[in-house]
Every structure is written in C-alpha cells, then in structure tokens.
C-alpha cells in the first residue's frame, strides 16, 4: 500500500524523494550517521552551519536536559567552509541531497559563504541561519529585525542561483512579518523554527546550567510553538515552508504538513535515535496510504478547520 | 609512551536489547545484564548510550536523552545471527538512571554502541595501576582482565562507603592485586584512592602506568601525581552527553592542543596530559 504513495516533494526548487530532512547542527556533516542508516533514505540533510573560518564553540557545560527537551549553547562550532567543501562533501554518496547552512556576522560573510558553497554541484541548496539563539553577534540579530533580514536575504539572493532557504527564529513577536520579508526578498522557501531562547538554573549550586547562561531549547517541548508558527507563516506567504521543532514521530511530522509545511526537518530526535529520519519518512508515507492520499504532497495544508467538512 | 597501539573500535549499531537481569548490588547500585542482538564486541573503555523508559521513542519524551554507560563485561562479539550478554554497573544518579534501575527482565531497551575510544592496553613489563572511583570501575574490568598475562596489575577500587562499592568480587576473581579503600573506613583501607596510589608508587618495582576512571576530581588528582612523577596516565572522562556519536558537540572538553575535543568520539579515554583539567566543571 505504502509503495503506491508518491513521496516526492518540491521544496523551493529542491526535488526531494521524500519530505524529511534532518536539521542543521543535529546531523553533523552526514557521514556520522552512515553506520545507522542509508543516508539516501532521507529526503536530504542540512549540514552543520558553516562560517568562513573554522570556529570553536563555548566552554562546557554546553548542553542540559529539560522536561521533554534540551538546552544547548554550542555556538556554531564548525570546521569552516573550506574543510566542508574539500573534505566532508566528497565523502558523501552522490545520491544524498545536501543543503549547506551559512552563518555570519554581517551580510558580507553570508554572501561570501553562499557564493563559495554555490560553486559546488554537490550543494543542492543554501540555508541562511538567521536565527542562532545564543551567539553574541550575528544570526539572530538578522532574524529579529525585518529590515536587516530583508537586506541579508537580498544580499545572498544576488550571489546564489541555488534554491535559497531562510531559517527563521521563533524569538520574534510576529513570525508572519518575518516570513513575508523573506518572500519579498527572494527566498525560495522558509524553515522554522530554530531553537527557542531559554535558560535553566541548578538550585543547589545557584548557577545557570550552561556556561553561556542562555541557550536554545529544542525537542518535543517546543513542538506546539513550532506548529503554531508554521501555521501562521503558511497563512502569510505562498513560498514553501519547511517545518522544524520537536519532531520525533511520523505523526509529529504529519501535523506540520497539515498546518502548511511542504517538508520537515528532524533535529534533536537524531540524538536519541540515529535512524529517526528514515523512520519518519516511512511513517509519513504509511499515514498517507492509510488516509487515502495518493501523494504525500497532498498532506500540505490539509488541516480540517472548525466548521469545515 | 607505550609501544602498544590503541585498538580499532567496531562500528556501532542501534538495536533493541532485552533485559536479562537487573540485580541490586547495594543502595542504588545495579548490575544490569542485556542480551544484545548482533553485538559487535567492545574494547576496554568503550560505552553505549541507553535510552531509559521503554523501547519506542513514541512512549517517552521525558527524560528525552539517552544515558552513557560503560561496558562492564561482555567485550566479545555475539555469534553470527545471535545475541551477546553484556553487563553494566549502574548507580542511580537521577531520573534516567532511576528508570534504568527499574527495568525488569524481559523488557526491551534501545541502545546505540559500542562508542568512543578505548584504553591503550597495558604494555608488557610495566606495572599497571588501575584506579577506579564509584561506577568508574566499570570501565576498568576488561582492561584488568586482559592485562594479567604479561604485566603486574594492581587495581585500586574506592568509594565513599562499603555499600557504594561494586564488582569487588569480580576483580578479586581475576587474580589481580586488589586494593580496597573507603572514605569512611567501612571496608578496606580508610581514605582515598590517591593515598593508596601514592604508597604503591613508593614501593620498588617496574615503571608504573596509570589508568583512572571515576569522579573528575579523582582523575585530576591522578593526573597530577602522574605529571609529578612523569608516569603515563590514561583517564576515561564522564561528561554529559546528548548523542554519544559526535554530532551534538555537547560533550566538549578543552584540550592542550587547542580548542575542544569531543569526549564521546576522541574520548572518553585520553592521555591525562591532553586534558585542560582546570576547564572541566
Ligand atoms: C562515557 C561514560 C560512561 C559512564 N559509565 C557509567 C557507568 O558505567 N555506570 C554509571 O552508573 N554511570 C556511568 N556514567 C554516568 C551516567 O551516564 C550518569 O550518571 C547518568 O547519565 C545520569 O543520568 P540521570 O538521568 O540518572 O541523572 P540526571 O538527572 O541527568 O542528573 C543527576 C546528576 O547526575 C549528574 N550527571 C548527569 N549526567 C552525568 C554524566 N554523564 N556523568 C556524571 N554525572 C552526570 C548530573 O550533573 C546531576 O548532578 C557514565 C558517563 C559517561 C559519559
Ligand atoms: C545541539 C544543537 C545544535 C544546533 N545547531 C544548529 C546550527 O548550527 N544551525 C542551525 O540552523 N540550527 C541549529 N540547531 C537548531 C536545530 O536545527 C533545530 O532548528 C531546532 O533544534 C529545533 O528542532 P528540534 O526540536 O527537532 O531539534 C541546533 C540544535 C541543537 C539541539
Ligand atoms: S555527546 Fe554529542 S557530540 Fe559528544
């Protein structure tokens, strides 16, 4: 039954064999997962956010568990664009769809990164990380100010012919405004949400649990917030949306699609189950079959609102 | 340095294991035995990530993350198509380990492993001194059992009190030289493992190599002793982890070669002089 379902989706010009991507920062550079699954079973994956130069992260403790979630303040530790293009990308099988994530402190960095990454035929798309919740400068500054965000997206748009995705922060008052700015500035799709800015305290030591004090909350704890934001963004724009936040089961992913997402990204769940991406992809197809949808793409926006049949 | 080479670890697997036994070994201490299908075997010092609370992710989002646990015994691979029994020594520290302690025989649990680096084996002609504090001794059993043929092996096992000691009889049965210490004197020598270590190092004998696993202050103390006496010393660190296989970057430890090293991938075993101890919380 599942075999007869067409699982393909188009995410802003990126042809995906199924709607499941794995989220930046939770899937390394891909090969780390090769012992656990065939990477080609995924729609694709978003690599760890890259900077122009290699970058070291925050001192420990960098992570802490919270109810149904986790806090992190890694601070975009990464190998840098050169090592990514020269060493990691060539290790990946040709049938794996790779989206590169860019992080910078000003629009110039982002544009330079996007330009270098776009030169590689192995990069299927560019994701702008305009939303890291715990880096002192860059990222979230852009994701919280519609004017800066618009400038950033235009600047990157001008240098890349590849499908351009913008990853939005939930730490804003009006997500619909941010979504509209992306659409107007030339983004091909938007991804939301990044981690929610948060903190936790150890009462015995009276210290914040993270060395950085503030961190980003991820995992099932944030899923209803993410779902709400995807729903609001879907009302505001017509470019495709990739839903991210707290997905661990196929049903979680289906919820995002029903609220208007074309595809989804699975993040924190990769840590507890390194084969979760494949399982979610298979489960979405099974759901579609069970509910009589010939194509998983038909799930997008198929929410039945109160009063509707 | 030793002339021995670090062993090459097997490829990790993700699998549902069956609880065979979960025996109480003292207050809050458990010996957990799992039957693991297709277990590729492990090297001394390696660990697995155990998901507390049921076999299906859908059943459990709290606690969310798997817990790192050293392989105590069961380093041989499963027969083709079969299962291997692998043993863990666990101490209840919080919610996750409480759930693991409550598992009953027949229940299933997901695990990922074996993970991490291994101890470089005891070199022939050396006097190996293994220092284990609390559950840290779990990482040392296999090393002790492999080291007995061509080297003199001493094991110092320490805990706060007699009830906190685990696996002592297993170590005794290996025929290695066992030295027991408790902080309250309820069993063995009263004091800390480092007191006994100091005495052993004063005694005449072949050059010593240290292997330590336990609370961070204990390992730091061993590292200092090794530095002062210019001895080799390997430690197995126990940082908080989210994934266990090098992708969350949460388990980072500062190292002297610059920047951070991932305890789950480059570690948990390090040469003590690689670690910036002052940077560990
Ligand atoms: C490589 C490695 C091997 C380990 N081997 C063993 C073993 O063989 N037997 C065993 O009993 N334990 C072992 N541990 C420690 C064990 O993983 C922790 O005790 C456990 O994760 C705590 O989870 P919890 O939910 O019970 O406690 P939580 O509720 O998460 O925390 C309770 C307390 O434990 C502390 N804690 C949390 N995680 C760790 C950790 N990773 N290490 C030390 N303290 C921690 C917290 O700071 C807190 O004070 C190992 C850890 C590592 C990294
Ligand atoms: C440890 C960690 C590191 C992350 N690193 C990045 C990153 O480098 N770039 C990025 O865009 N998002 C990063 N994220 C955010 C995730 O991609 C995702 O947006 C967020 O965690 C919400 O999804 P989830 O609940 O499924 O994890 C990171 C998340 C975690 C937990
Ligand atoms: S625990 Fe995730 S990188 Fe080490």
Per-residue model confidence as pLDDT tens digits over A121-139: 999 999 999 876 656 566 6
Write the CATH number for B152: 3.40.50.80
In the 8-state DSSP scheme, what is residue A175? Answer: H
pLDDT class of B2 with cuts at 50, 70, 90: very low
Judged by phi (left if over 0) then psi (alpha if -120 to 50, else beta), residue B188 lies in left
pLDDT of residue A1: 52
Which of B115, B144, B167 is a domain's end point?
B115
> Tell me, what DSSP letter sits at residue A105?
S
* pTM of the full structure: 0.94
Residues B132 and B240 in one domain: yes
Q: Distance (Å, rounded) from C-alpha B111 to C-alpha B126?
A: 36
Residue B143 in any domain: the answer is yes
Domain match, B110 and B194 both: no
Based on the domain organization, do B230 and B146 belong to the same domain? yes
What is the structure's pLDDT at B5?
Answer: 60
Q: What is the 3-state secondary structure (H, E, C) of chain B?
A: CCCCCCCCCCCCEEEEEEEEEEEEEECCEEEEEEEEECCCCCCCCCEEEECCCCCCHHHCCCCCCCEEEECCECCCCCCCCCEEEEEEEEECCCHHHHHHHCCCCCCEEEEEEEECCCCCCCCCCCEEEEEEEHHHHHHHHHHHHHHCCCCEEEEEEEECCHHHCCCHHHHHHCCCEEEEEECCCCCCEECCHHHHHHHHHHCCCCCEEEEEECCHHHHHHHHHHHHHHCCEEEEECCCCCCCCCCCCCCCEEEECCCCEEECCCCCCEEEHHHECHHHCC
State the pLDDT confidence band at B3, using cuts at 50, 70 and 90.
Answer: very low
Burial class (CB in 10 A: 0-12, 13-18, 19+), A119: exposed
Q: Which residue has the tokens 């010393």?
A: B233
Sign of the torsion angle spanned by Cα atoms A152, A224, B246, A281:
negative
Same domain, B111 and B131: no
Give mean pLDDT, residues B207-236: 94
In a domain, A309, yes or no: no
Alpha-carbon gap, residue B162 to B172, rounded angstroms: 16
Q: Is residue A308 part of a domain?
A: no
- Measured distance CA(B4)–CA(B143) in Å, rounded: 13
Rounded to an integer, what distance in angstroms lies between the CA atom of residue A88 and that of residue B280? 30
Query: Range of A107's domain?
Result: 2-299
**How many other C-beta atoms are found inside a 10 Å radius of the C-beta of residue A276?**
27
Please report the pLDDT score of residue B53 as a whole number: 66
Q: Classify residue A305: in a domain, yes or no.
A: no
Distance in angstroms (rounded) separating the CA atoms of residues A262 and A233: 12
Whether residue A181 lies inside any domain: the answer is yes
Residue A69: closest CA among chain B residues belongs to which residue?
B64
Tell me, yes or no, whether B270 and B137 share the same domain. yes
In a domain, B214, yes or no: yes
First to last CA, chain B: 28
Residue A22 CB–ligand 2 contact under 6 Å:
no
pLDDT(A288) > 50: yes
For residues A227-234, give the mean pLDDT.
97
Average pLDDT over residues B127-153: 87
The answer to whether the Cβ–Cβ distance between B252 and A57 falls below 8 Å is yes
B137 and B274 share one domain = yes
Rg (CA), chain A: 18
Residue B279: list chain A partners with CB under 8 A.
Answer: 59-60
**Residue B57 sits at the chain A interface (C-beta within 8 Å):** yes
A259 catalytically annotated: no
d(CA A125, CA A189): 10
Q: Nearest CB to A74: which of B65, B250, B279?
A: B250
The answer on pLDDT for A90 being more than 70 is yes
Residue B96 lies in a domain: yes
Strands A63-66 and A69-72: antiparallel
Quote the percentage of chain A above a pLDDT of 70: 96
Let me know if residue B5 belongs to a domain: no
Residues B77 and B148 in one domain: no
Domain assignment present for A280: yes
Residues B104 and B232 occupy one common structural domain: no
pLDDT-derived band of residue B175, with 50, 70 and 90 as boundaries? confident
Rounded distance, CA B232 to CA B244, Å? 27
CA of A196 to the centre of ligand 2 (A): 10
Terminal alpha carbon distance of chain A:
26
Distances (CA, A) of B232 to B150, B156, B272: 18, 17, 8
Which of B84, B115, B146 corresponds to the end of one domain? B115
Q: What is the mean pLDDT of residues B8-29?
A: 89
Residue B3 lies in a domain: no
Mean pLDDT value across chain A: 94
SS (H, E, C) A187-240: CCEEEECCCEEECCEECCCCEECCCCCCEEEECHHHHHHHHHHHHHHHHHCCCC
- Min mean pLDDT across A20-34, A83-97, A142-156 is at A142-156
Assign residue B99 the CATH number of its domain: 2.40.30.10
Tokens of B195: 């007191």
| A12 belongs to a structural domain | yes
Q: Which among B115, B136, B157 is the end of a domain?
A: B115
A68-91 as b/e: b if 16+ CB within 10 A: bbbbbbbbbbbbebeebbeebbee
Q: Are B30 and B23 in contact (CB under 8 A)?
A: yes
User: Is B277's Cβ below 8 Å from some Cβ in A?
Assistant: no
Asked whether residue B7 is assigned to any structural domain, the reply reads no
Of A31-35, A63-67, B174-178, the range with the lowest mean pLDDT is B174-178
Residue A298 φ then ψ, to 5°: -70, -15
Both tokens of B1, joined, read 């340095």
Q: Is there a domain that residue B212 lies in?
A: yes
Question: Tell me, what CATH number does A70's domain have?
Answer: 3.20.20.70
By the 8 A CB rule, do A196 and A170 touch? yes
Q: Are A63 and A218 in contact (CB under 8 A)?
A: no
Least trusted range by pLDDT, from A172-186, A199-213, B55-69: B55-69
Distance of CA A85 to the CA centre of its chain: 20
Instruction: Please give, rounded to a whole number of angstroms, the shortest distance from the CA of A27 to a CA of chain B.
Output: 6
Task: Calculate how close chain A gets to B147, using CA atoms only, in Å.
Answer: 31
| CB-CB contact of A54 with A83 (8 Å) | yes
Please tell me the predicted confidence (pLDDT) of residue B147. 72
Phi, psi of A202 (to 5 degrees): -95, 110
Decide if A220 and B61 are in contact by the 8 Å CB cutoff: yes
Please check the confidence at residue B56 and state whether its pLDDT lies above 60.
no
Q: What is the pLDDT of residues B99-113, one digit of tens each?
A: 999 999 999 999 999
pLDDT tier at B7, thresholds 50, 70, 90: low
- Residue from A45, A26, A35 nearest A125 by CA: A45
Domain count, chain A: 1
- Which residue puts its alpha carbon closest to atom 34 of ligand 1? B93
pLDDT at A143 over 90: no
Return the bridge partners of A21, or none: A44, A265
Structural domain includes residue B4: no
Cβ of A72 under 8 Å from any chain B Cβ?
yes
Task: Report which bound ligand comes closest to the CA of B47.
Answer: 1
Query: What is the extent of the structural domain holding B49?
Result: 13-115
B141 and B256 in one domain?
yes
B146 shares a domain with B269: yes
What pLDDT is stored for residue B4 in this prediction?
A: 54
**pLDDT, position B151:** 75
Looking at residue B148, its pLDDT comes to 58
Over chain B, what is the mean pLDDT? 90
Same domain, B76 and B168: no
**Structural domains of chain B, count:** 2
B144 with B238, same domain: the answer is: yes
- Going by DSSP bridges, is the β-strand pair B269-271/B232-236 parallel, antiparallel, or unpaired? antiparallel
């Amino acid at each position: 039954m599942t075999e007869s379902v067409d699982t393909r989706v188009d995410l802003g010009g990126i042809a995906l064999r199924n709607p499941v991507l794995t989220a930046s920062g939770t899937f390394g550079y891909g090969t780390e997962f090769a012992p656990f699954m065939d990477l080609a079973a995924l729609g694709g994956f978003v690599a760890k956010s890259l900077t122009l130069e290699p970058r070291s992260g925050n001192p420990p403790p960098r992570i802490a568990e919270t109810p149904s979630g986790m806090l992190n303040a890694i601070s975009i530790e990464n190998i840098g664009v050169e090592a990514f293009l020269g060493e990691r990308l060539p290790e990946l099988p040709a049938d794996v769809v790779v989206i590169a994530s860019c992080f910078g402190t000003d629009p110039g960095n982002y544009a330079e990164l996007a330009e270098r990454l776009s030169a590689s035929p192995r990069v299927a798309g560019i994701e702008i990380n305009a939303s890291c919740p715990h880096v002192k400068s860059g990222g979230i500054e852009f994701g919280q100010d519609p004017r800066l965000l618009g400038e950033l997206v235009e600047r990157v748009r001008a240098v890349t012919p590849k499908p351009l995705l913008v990853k939005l922060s939930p730490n804003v008052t009006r997500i619909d405004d941010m979504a509209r700015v992306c659409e107007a500035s030339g983004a091909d799709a938007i991804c939301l949400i990044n981690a929610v800015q948060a903190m936790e305290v150890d009462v015995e030591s009276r210290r914040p649990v993270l060395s950085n004090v503030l961190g980003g909350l991820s995992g099932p704890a944030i899923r209803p917030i993410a779902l709400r934001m995807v729903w609001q963004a879907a009302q505001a724009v017509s470019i495709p949306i990739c839903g991210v936040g707290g997905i661990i089961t196929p049903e979680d992913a289906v919820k995002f699609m029903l609220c208007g997402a074309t595809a989804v990204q699975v993040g924190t769940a990769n840590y507890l189950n390194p084969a979760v991406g494949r399982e979610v992809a298979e489960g979405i197809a099974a759901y579609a079959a069970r509910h009589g949808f010939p194509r998983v793409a038909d799930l997008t926006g198929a929410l039945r609102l109160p009063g509707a049949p | 340095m030793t002339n021995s080479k670090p062993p090459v670890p097997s490829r990790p697997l993700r699998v549902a294991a069956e609880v065979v036994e979960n025996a109480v070994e003292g207050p809050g201490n458990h010996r957990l035995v799992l039957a693991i299908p297709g277990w590729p075997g492990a090297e001394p010092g390696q660990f697995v990530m155990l998901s507390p609370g049921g076999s299906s992710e859908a059943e459990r989002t709290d606690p969310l993350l798997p817990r790192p646990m050293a392989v105590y015994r069961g380093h041989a691979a499963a027969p083709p198509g079969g299962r291997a029994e692998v043993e863990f020594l666990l101490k209840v520290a919080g919610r996750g380990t409480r759930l693991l302690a409550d598992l009953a025989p027949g229940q299933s649990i997901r695990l990922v492993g074996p993970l991490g680096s291994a101890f470089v084996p005891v070199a022939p002609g050396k006097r190996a001194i293994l220092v284990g504090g609390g559950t840290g001794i779990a990482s040392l059993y296999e090393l002790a059992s492999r080291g007995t043929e061509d080297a003199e092996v001493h094991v110092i096992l320490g805990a706060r009190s007699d009830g906190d000691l685990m696996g002592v009889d297993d170590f005794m049965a290996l025929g290695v030289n066992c030295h027991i210490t408790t902080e309250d004197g309820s069993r063995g020598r009263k004091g800390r493992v480092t007191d006994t270590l100091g005495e052993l190092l004063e005694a005449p004998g072949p050059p010593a190599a240290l292997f330590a696993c336990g609370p961070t202050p204990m390992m730091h103390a061993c590292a200092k002793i090794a530095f002062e006496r210019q001895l080799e010393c390997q430690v197995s660190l126990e940082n908080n982890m989210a994934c266990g296989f090098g992708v969350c970057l949460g388990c980072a430890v500062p190292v002297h070669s610059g920047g951070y090293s991932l305890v789950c991938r480059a570690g948990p075993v390090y040469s003590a002089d690689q670690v910036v101890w002052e940077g560990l919380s």
